[in-house]
Amino acid sequence: MSRRAVPCVLSGVLALMALACPPALAEETGRPVYEGAGGDPRISVSQPESTSQASGGYVRSIEPSLGPLGDPFGLRPVLKARGIEYSLTYIAETLGNPVGGLRQGAIVEDRLNLRLNLDLKRLAGWDGATVHANAYFIHGTGLSRYYVGNLLATSVIEALPASRLYVLWLDQQLFDGKLGLRIGQQAADTEFFVSQTATLFVNSTFGWPAITGLDLPSGGPAYPLASPAIRAKYVPGNGFSLQAGLYDGDPAGANRPGDDPEAQRLDRTGTNFRTRDPALVVAEATYAFNTQEGSKELPGDVTLGGWQHFGRFESLRIDNTGLPLADPNSTGIGRPLRGNAGIYAIYDQTLYRETGKDDEGLGFFVRAAWSPTRSSLVSAYLDTGLAYKGLFEGRDDDTVGISLAHARLSDDARRSDIDTIVYTGTAMPRRRAETVIEAAYQAVVVPGFTVQPDVQLILHPGGGIANPRDPEGRRVRNAAVLGLRATVQY
């Protein structure tokens, strides 16, 4: 789809909102059947109808609402009976910052996601084996990169325009499904560090948090880059699960931390399949409670996890001769540092469930992470939020929420700013942290088709950097971001 066509799509979305069928249509086409984001049991009653986060978690399609046009040749049930399933998700959005940032402006971006699942038992008699592939077609311009200048990107779909393979893996279930082994090109953000309630929000940090995206090479194995990996997941029962993944630690081979656009250019198609870079290990343990069908207690889960990257990094403050990088005599090459590591915790809890309903109510999440290694740009991270599904009478499938995320820059990153002031004698802002506050409302027009207005407040973009467009070198001003997103699932 051309960039000129996208505004037309958004105009059509607004028209459809005005002509939307009454809420009873959702009942006529069936209530949603959800799986939990991240492939876990669903514990959040406020997990939204649709999400742009890579962890997914929705299964409802617009197909029934299209009537005879939904599957004009009747191929879907035929293919499904043979073990072949496909789905498409199209997201179009417009975002703008009328206040603050590097400069004011607006963008339009869109992403088409194609998924293919093959049940090898039906196709070839291979019991317990499935193949999954996922490809993205990305268009548009990122608001954070060109206008806001913040670290916590305003949209999770923001990426350089490309047509790329995302994941391609084989999964084998063993011991009655208690052990799953997965091999192939994979992304950590689809299964690790996932909050089901947080999947409502647009800002990228509520998917793959900024502490991993900014500290790991090429942003880590997360959208839009994945890497060859082996993942094992053990589910012994009683709500417990353990999983660990061994990934190639530099998806694009950029050899530098952070979600740098140059890294995406090094692997434009997602088919580099790098295997010789230092390894990244991610592991977590989860306990989900009150998930049994018919349970009267409120469901939730607690997760503890961590990561270890075995590569070499460069110091953010000291060069390879021991001088501060800000020193005019410095080589400009950071002192070699070994590895990057961190730990994290997640608490996702349903706080209130409406009487007689299993998919309406109030959910809460909080995630915290700490990275003590000196190679980390972000040393501490926290996000939290609330989401309510079915808050308004007659809008049982709509979800509304508010969230906050805070990323604190490491001591070495902040001290490097002091060094620059001392050695140059020039007054400049010192970076400390960046915070985003987001409010979102996802309205279901028809099942499988949502529209989502979104508002974000970005505090201290870039951690409080100087605006290169300001002749006086003042900080980048706090930014307000307004957005509208449309999502179609088929």
pLDDT in tens, 422-437: 888 888 888 999 999 9
* Confidence check: pLDDT of 8 > 60: no
Say which CATH number the domain at 235 has.
Answer: 2.40.160.180
Indicate the burial class of 124 (C-beta count within 10 angstroms; 0-12, 13-18, 19 or more): exposed
Q: What is the pLDDT of residue 34?
A: 56
* Confidence check: pLDDT of 461 > 90: yes
What's the average model confidence in pLDDT over 240-245?
Answer: 97
Q: For all residues of the chain together, what is the average pLDDT?
A: 89
Q: What is the pLDDT of residue 447?
A: 93
Number of domains in the chain: 1
What's the average model confidence in pLDDT over 452-460?
Answer: 98
Q: What is the pLDDT of residue 296?
A: 84
Token representation of residue 284: 């977590």
What's the average model confidence in pLDDT over 24-41?
Answer: 56
Token representation of residue 98: 């009328």
Q: What is the pLDDT of residue 424?
A: 85
Q: What is the pLDDT of residue 469?
A: 85
Q: What is the pLDDT of residue 7?
A: 39
Residue 345 forms beta bridges with which residues? 304, 368
What's the average model confidence in pLDDT over 271-282?
Answer: 95
pLDDT confidence band for 42 (50 / 70 / 90): confident
Secondary structure tally for the chain: helices H, strands E: 8, 16
Provide CB contacts within 8 A for 80, sequence distance 6+. none
Helix, strand, coil in percent for the chain, rounding step 5: 20, 45, 40
pLDDT tens for each residue of 190-219 = 999 999 999 999 999 999 999 999 999 999
- Percent of all residues in the chain with a pLDDT value above 90, rounded to a whole number: 73
Residue type, 287: Y
Where do we find the tokens 């995302």? 166
What's the average model confidence in pLDDT over 100-121?
Answer: 96
What's the average model confidence in pLDDT over 209-237?
Answer: 96
What's the average model confidence in pLDDT over 356-378?
Answer: 94
Q: What is the pLDDT of residue 449?
A: 95
pLDDT tens for each residue of 49-64 = 999 888 887 668 999 9
Task: Look at the alpha carbons of 333, 336, 339, 342 in this order and tell me if their dihedral is positive or negative.
Answer: negative
pLDDT confidence band for 117 (50 / 70 / 90): very high
Task: Look at the alpha carbons of 259, 262, 265, 267 in this order and tell me if their dihedral is positive or negative.
Answer: negative
Q: What is the pLDDT of residue 291?
A: 87
Instruction: Tell me the pTM.
Output: 0.89
* Confidence check: pLDDT of 95 > 60: yes
- What DSSP designation does 415 have? H
Poorest-pLDDT segment among 25-34, 83-92, 414-423: 25-34
pLDDT tens for each residue of 147-189 = 999 999 999 999 999 999 999 999 999 999 999 999 999 999 9
What's the average model confidence in pLDDT over 348-364?
Answer: 92
Q: What is the pLDDT of residue 420?
A: 86
Higher pLDDT, 84 or 41: 84
Domain membership of residue 336 as a residue range: 5-489
* Confidence check: pLDDT of 417 > 90: no
Provide CB contacts within 8 A for 291, sequence distance 6+. 41, 42, 43, 239, 299
Q: What is the pLDDT of residue 58?
A: 65
Instruction: Give the DSSP letter string of 72-83.
Output: TT-HHHHHHHTT
